[in-house]
Amino acid sequence: MNPGRSLKKAVIEQHSCVACGCCVKVCPRKAIEILGGIMARVNWEQCVGCGKCMKECPASVITIQEVC
Amino acid sequence: MKKKWYDFLWIASLIYLVLGFVNILFAWFGLLCFLIPLIISIAKGTKGYCNRYCGRGQLFSILGGRFGLSRKKDIPRWMKSKVFRYGFLVFFLIMFFQMLWNTYLVFAGVQDLKQGITLLWTFKLPWHWAYHGTLMHSGVAQFAFGFYSIMLTSTILGLITMVLFKPRSWCVYCPMGTMTQFICKIKNGKHIDQKSPVPTFRQS
């Protein structure tokens, strides 16, 4: 494991996601996509856990969590 | 990030709201906000309208974000529940069909044109200054008054929740958003494992 790499990632409470796409717009790493107009999904390989999506999400269904 | 043409659709939303004060017949353009999301969701199975083209969402983003008019607090849990979202959609549709019925009554000659708008489905306001007659049937104007009532009411609700909660809180319970997500669920639901846990993080 690379010790310098952040293991904080965005986690989406998918069943409450409204798929508005606000998170996609603010993600600086283009790590989020909307799956079939139903929910957002984070690509953890791209996510750096910056938390911009968490702040933006109008439904507040995104949290930043340690994922190791 | 370079802005695209659709990032400026908030201007169209703003102009739409202003035009409703000038000539009510412009309210007919609001049908685009109903039809485009439905067409995109039915034809493409995405919420492309919400994700990209919704001028109203952009307007709330700018007012609540850049202008700081939002408290940026979490929306209450009940407001993002499926019961509330689908309940509000059903209520909204009932009110929409009631508006269509009133329009029909004017077209049928049973009822006279009412030059006013109804805010929050309750408060009737005079709006005669925005009506300068029409070459068509007065039912055309009745629909415009009714439709603008819906658009202004939803804008007011959106502004209230923008101030109280996060800028785009309206997106959580927007009836069009709920409806297009429902259509996408019907179209794509079986292809996506909605009960799957969070995607596993592969360490490189």
Q: Is B171 on the interface with A (CB under 8 A)?
A: yes
Confidence of residue B180 (pLDDT cuts 50, 70, 90): very high
In the predicted structure, residue B195 carries a pLDDT above the cut 80: no
- Tens-place pLDDT, residues A6-35: 589 999 998 999 999 999 999 999 999 999
Helices (H) and strands (E) in chain A, counts: 2, 4
Instruction: Tell me whether residue A59 is in a domain.
Output: yes
CA dist B63 and B114 (Å) reads 33
CA dist B78 and B156 (Å) reads 20
Residues A23 and A64: beta-carbon distance below 8 Å: no
Q: 3-state DSSP call for residue B85?
A: helix
The distance of A50 to chain B (nearest Cα, Å) reads 16
Q: For Cα atoms B85, A49, B70, give the angle at the middle one, nearest 5 degrees.
A: 45
CB contact under 8 A, A21 and B191: no
Task: Give chain A's domain count.
Answer: 1
Instruction: Tell me whether residue A54 is in a domain.
Output: yes
Q: Which residues of B touch A9 (CB under 8 A)?
A: 201
Instruction: Tell me whether residue A19 is in a domain.
Output: yes
- The single-letter DSSP state of residue B108 is T
Whichever domain contains A47, its CATH number is 3.30.70.20
- Tens-place pLDDT, residues B79-132: 999 999 999 999 999 999 999 999 999 999 999 999 999 999 999 999 999 988
Considering CB atoms only, which of B47, B75, B198 is closest to A58?
A: B75
Domain layout of chain B by residue ranges? 5-188
Instruction: Tell me whether residue A2 is in a domain.
Output: no
Give the model's pLDDT for residue B202: 38
CB contact under 8 A, B181 and A11: no
Considering CB atoms only, which of B75, B181, B183 is closest to A60?
A: B75
ipTM reported for the complex, 2 dp: 0.89
CA dist B104 and B110 (Å) reads 9
CB contact under 8 A, A20 and B191: no
Q: A60: Cβ–Cβ under 8 A, 6 or more apart, which residues?
A: A54, B74, B75, B80, B166
Under the phi-then-psi rule, with left for phi > 0, alpha for psi from -120 to 50, and beta for the rest, what region is A8?
beta
Question: Domain limits at A26?
Answer: 8-66
Instruction: Tell me whether residue A42 is in a domain.
Output: yes
